[in-house]
């Protein structure tokens, strides 16, 4: 691949784009949604796309003029001065493991490019006072990008990123430079990556949207890596026959199945069944029923609120969801009031975990007392332990209906909430992985626990009565 550079001579990069990547590299659009099978060369293509943009003032000028033809040279000049391109993976560790060596390799063909190992950053040569930079980040620390002005951005394995990372943090970082954004990955259910692609394919004048499973690559590519895929797929089929891999995993990674369960996810099968049964749909609010809320409370961390309605038939409807971070109880009290006024909610009970009764050092008051002064009279969710709480969710989900639109982030969290993987032992642990899915999943766990505890109490009371009756019969 040849790149036009800020340096006086032409640079030749040891990169041959795959067929799917050629129209991607030729586009000057702002938005890209790339869903491809495993080992399709996504990261390599995206890194080279960023590097070409970082090393070519001419290419960046053409991109800006394609978006805003009326821009003058004087208006474009300051936009060329500082250019940062960010490649983001779900975690910083993953960025270092999967993309950093790729970035360093292709940067090695650019004379004067300087890699910075400690910051996963590559600075490209440019005039004094200018910046040309490619840097890797993890979505587990999105605040590291707050305030940055980006000319280009890629969210690799976007389906595993926090759902709010682009809308709340990153979209504004692109504004000054009309920067482009690439949403890429291999599908894992109909998550935010799928929804982004689905929206993009309906707007082809603004979006570049690509969906390519392995069959298309095998039919159109002839490079050595693609030839190796045929053997890899054959080996995977042998693993399926031995029970070491599931057909669902095979179909998901190679053929982009949207119904395969996520490995290690606590509620994977239940969520697959919910979709199959049509219980992830448009769920109407019933004004005849009270709206209950279940909370997972954070201070600097995320606070998640699940809005539900419960029927006498034991059916539970999740009709709404809200999450935010860095806000106090007064803010969330205002959110409840606004939703009540806007949608006609009449609230029933509000439930929060037991730590709401902990007294704050500064005021000496419990958060429960503070909330009550704001009009939220919290009930305390029984603490039955993490494992029993997860089991309670599994028991509840088969009778839950979820509003696909208003509870979208919540649905994705329940789909992705998973066990921690122990790299050393190569096995899942009993501890949940703490990421963006944890808080909404914990809020649903509270809902499930309060639904289950009365049933447990009835069971225990029945057992106690039977025990007393047995004792009396023995004594007689």
Q: Are strands 114-116 and 121-123 parallel, antiparallel or unpaired?
A: antiparallel
Are the C-beta atoms of 11 and 5 separated by less than 8 Å? yes
Domain positions in the chain: 2-212, 215-258, 280-460
Residues 6+ positions from 106 with CB-CB distance below 8 Å: 13, 14, 15, 44, 47, 48, 51
Are the C-beta atoms of 95 and 161 separated by less than 8 Å? no
DSSP 131-162: EEEEEEEETT-GGGGTT---SEEEEETGGGS-
What CA–CA distance (Å, rounded) separates 34 from 141?
Answer: 23
Query: CA 40, 46, 52 angle in degrees (round to 5)?
Result: 135
Report the run of H or E that residue 294 belongs to, with start and end.
strand 291-296
| pLDDT, one tens digit for every residue, the chain (476 residues) | 444 344 446 788 999 999 999 999 999 999 999 999 999 999 999 999 999 999 999 999 999 999 999 999 999 999 999 999 999 999 999 999 999 999 999 999 999 999 999 999 999 999 999 999 999 999 988 778 778 899 999 999 998 888 778 988 899 999 999 999 999 999 877 778 998 999 999 998 899 999 999 999 999 988 888 889 889 999 999 999 999 888 888 988 999 987 776 778 899 889 989 998 999 999 999 999 999 999 999 766 789 999 999 999 999 999 999 999 888 899 999 999 999 999 999 999 999 999 898 877 567 789 999 999 999 999 999 999 999 999 999 999 999 999 999 999 899 899 889 998 876 777 888 899 888 889 999 999 999 999 997 665 555 555 555 544 443 443 34
Find tokens 């209950």 and name the residue: 292
What CA–CA distance (Å, rounded) separates 425 from 190?
Answer: 31
Phi, psi of 126, deg, nearest 5:
-165, 175
Residues 6+ positions from 437 with CB-CB distance below 8 Å: 412, 413, 414, 416, 417, 418
**Tokens standing for 460?**
């225990």
> How many residues are there in the chain?
476
Residue 326: its pLDDT value, please? 83
What CA–CA distance (Å, rounded) separates 246 from 144?
Answer: 38
131-163 CB burial, b ≥16 within 10 A, e <16:
ebbbbbbbbbebebbeebebbbbbbbbbbbbbb
**Tokens standing for 171?**
């979209």
Long-range contacts of 332-338 (CB under 8 A, 24+ apart): 332/303, 332/305, 332/376, 333/371, 333/374, 333/375, 333/376, 335/305, 336/293, 336/305, 336/376, 337/375
Are the C-beta atoms of 404 and 411 separated by less than 8 Å? yes
CA nearest to 395, candidates 296, 278, 267: 267
For domain 280-460, give the CATH number.
3.30.420.280
Tell me the three state secondary structure of residue 423.
coil
The terminus-to-terminus CA distance of the chain in angstroms comes to 94
CATH superfamily assigned to domain 2-212? P-loop containing nucleotide triphosphate hydrolases (3.40.50.300)
Q: Which residues pair with 316 in a beta bridge?
A: 310, 400
């Amino acid at each position: 691949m040849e790149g036009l550079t800020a340096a006086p001579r032409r640079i030749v990069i040891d990169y041959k784009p795959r067929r799917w990547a050629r129209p991607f590299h030729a586009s000057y659009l702002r938005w890209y949604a790339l869903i491809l099978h495993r080992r399709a060369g996504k990261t390599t293509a995206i890194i080279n796309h960023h590097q070409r943009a970082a090393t070519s003032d001419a290419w960046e000028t053409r991109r800006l003029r394609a978006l805003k033809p009326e821009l003058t040279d004087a208006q474009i000049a300051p936009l060329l001065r500082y250019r940062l391109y960010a490649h983001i993976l779900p975690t910083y560790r993953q960025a270092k493991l999967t993309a950093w060596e790729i970035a360093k390799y292709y940067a090695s063909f650019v004379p004067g490019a300087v890699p910075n190992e400690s910051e996963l950053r590559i600075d490209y040569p440019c005039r004094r006072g200018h910046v040309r930079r490619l840097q890797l980040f993890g979505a587990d620390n999105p605040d590291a990008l707050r305030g940055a002005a980006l000319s280009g951005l890629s969210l690799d394995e976007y389906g595993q990123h926090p759902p709010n990372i682009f809308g709340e943090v990153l979209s504004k970082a692109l504004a000054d430079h009309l920067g482009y954004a690439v949403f890429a990955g291999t599908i894992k259910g109909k998550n935010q990556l799928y929804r982004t692609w689905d929206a993009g394919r309906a707007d082809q004048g603004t979006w570049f949207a690509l969906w390519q499973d392995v069959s298309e690559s095998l039919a159109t590519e002839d490079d050595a890596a693609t030839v190796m895929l045929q053997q890899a797929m054959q080996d995977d089929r042998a693993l399926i026959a031995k029970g070491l891999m599931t057909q669902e995993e095979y179909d998901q990674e190679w053929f982009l199945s949207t119904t395969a369960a996520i490995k290690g996810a606590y509620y994977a099968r239940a969520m697959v069944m919910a979709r199959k049964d049509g219980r992830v749909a448009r769920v109407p609010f019933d004004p005849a029923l009270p709206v209950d809320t279940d909370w997972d409370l954070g201070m600097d961390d995320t606070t998640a609120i699940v809005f539900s309605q419960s029927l006498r038939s034991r059916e539970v409807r999740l009709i709404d969801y809200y999450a935010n971070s860095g806000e106090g109880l007064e803010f969330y009290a205002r959110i409840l009031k606004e939703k009540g006024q806007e949608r006609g909610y009449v609230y029933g009970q509000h439930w929060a975990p037991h730590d709401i009764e902990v007294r704050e050092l500064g005021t000496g008051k419990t958060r429960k007392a503070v909330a009550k002064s704001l009009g939220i009279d919290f009930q305390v969710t029984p603490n039955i332990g993490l494992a029993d709480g997860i089991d309670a969710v599994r028991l509840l989900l088969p009778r839950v209906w979820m509003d696909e639109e208003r509870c979208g982030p919540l649905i994705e969290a329940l789909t992705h909430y998973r066990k921690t993987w122990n790299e050393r032992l190569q096995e899942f642990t009993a501890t949940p992985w703490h990421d963006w899915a944890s808080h909404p999943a914990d809020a649903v766990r509270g809902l499930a626990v309060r639904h289950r505890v009365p049933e447990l109490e009835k069971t225990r009371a029945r057992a106690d009565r039977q025990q007393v009756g047995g004792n009396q019969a023995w004594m007689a």
